[in-house]
């Protein structure tokens, strides 16, 4: 039986729905901005053959990015002219540029959906993106921020993602032993509210008897008794979980 989150974020035994009436859910965890995973993600979708794909992005974010992406990138190029030449290829600049672009998870899902005639749905809450995205032009795209970002030691961007993949794999493999300090720091009230919103949408979609695949950041895949996450809330219908980076796909 699916457990319902209370108003405080604690899981209770009150059912969200009858798990037997819902189709199994596949969850794919990504390292955000790791565009080398595009091919691997597409190939995994081809193996899973979903009838519907849900992506961790909001409808507001999709529309806002479509309107502002080129303006953001033009502004970034303009500011980079004032950054020392040796810093312009810094890995933080690469990450920032990718952050300004449409997430690869959404692009890849759409690409697969178009080819396979599979619907793709943005299921994240718009509340956070409505608050954060309009500030990017001022808060992220300024010379002070770029100089600060490039002041730390540089590294190959692939090394950056390899480190994050290793950390994600470690935490997912030891999810039952996560420390209270880690849980309290990351999984706050804002996170809980967002997970409950996405869970409700997932349940509605899965109840339509479709074979669903969810794509989103790897932390949503954590299953821990004290963590309010998509994987925990939907534990009874999660068929399988995958972690992906580059050409590496790990079934958890």
What is the per-residue pLDDT across 155-214, written as a single tens digit (0 to 9) for each?
A: 999 999 999 999 999 999 988 777 777 777 778 888 889 999 999 999 888 887 789 999
Over residues 109-139, the pLDDT tens digits come to: 999 999 999 999 999 999 999 999 999 999 9
Using the structure block, give the residue that is written with the tokens 């091919």: 39
Of residues 80 and 223, the one with the higher pLDDT is 80
| Residue whose C-alpha is closest to residue 112's, from 28, 39, 30 | 39
Global pTM reads 0.90
Query: Does 240 score more than 80 pLDDT?
Result: yes
Q: Which of 205, 183, 236 is nearest to 4 (CA)?
A: 236
Query: What does the domain layout of the chain look like in residue ranges?
Result: 3-67+103-125+157-251
Sign of dihedral through CA atoms 181, 183, 186, 189?
A: negative
Task: Note whether 212 and 52 are within 8 A (CB).
Answer: yes
Query: What Å distances lie between residue 42 and 24, 55, 155, 230, 247, CA to CA?
Result: 20, 13, 28, 22, 11
């Amino acid at each position: 039986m699916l457990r319902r989150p209370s108003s405080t974020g604690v899981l209770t035994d009150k059912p969200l729905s009858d798990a037997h009436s819902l189709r199994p859910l596949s969850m794919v965890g990504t390292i955000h901005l790791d565009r080398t995973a595009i091919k691997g993600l597409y190939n995994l979708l081809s193996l899973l053959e979903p009838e519907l794909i849900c992506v961790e992005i909001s409808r507001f974010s999709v529309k806002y990015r479509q309107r502002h992406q080129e303006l953001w990138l033009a502004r970034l190029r303009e500011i980079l002219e004032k950054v020392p030449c040796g810093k312009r290829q810094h890995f933080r600049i690469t990450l920032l540029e990718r952050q300004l672009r449409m997430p690869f998870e959404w692009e890849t899902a759409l690409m697969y959906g178009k080819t396979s005639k599979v619907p793709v749905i943005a299921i994240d809450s718009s509340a956070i993106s409505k608050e954060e995205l309009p500030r990017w032009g001022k808060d992220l795209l300024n010379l002070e921020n770029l100089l600060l970002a490039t002041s730390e030691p540089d590294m190959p961007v692939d090394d950056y993602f390899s480190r994050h993949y290793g950390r994600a794999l470690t935490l997912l493999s030891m999810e039952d032993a996560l420390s209270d300090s880690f849980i309290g720091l990351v999984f706050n009230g804002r996170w809980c509210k967002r997970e409950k919103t996405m869970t409700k949408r997932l349940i509605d979609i899965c109840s339509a008897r479709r074979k669903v695949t969810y794509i989103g950041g790897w932390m949503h895949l954590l299953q821990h008794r004290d963590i309010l996450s998509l994987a925990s809330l939907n534990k009874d219908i999660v068929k399988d979980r995958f972690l992906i980076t580059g050409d590496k796909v790990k079934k958890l």
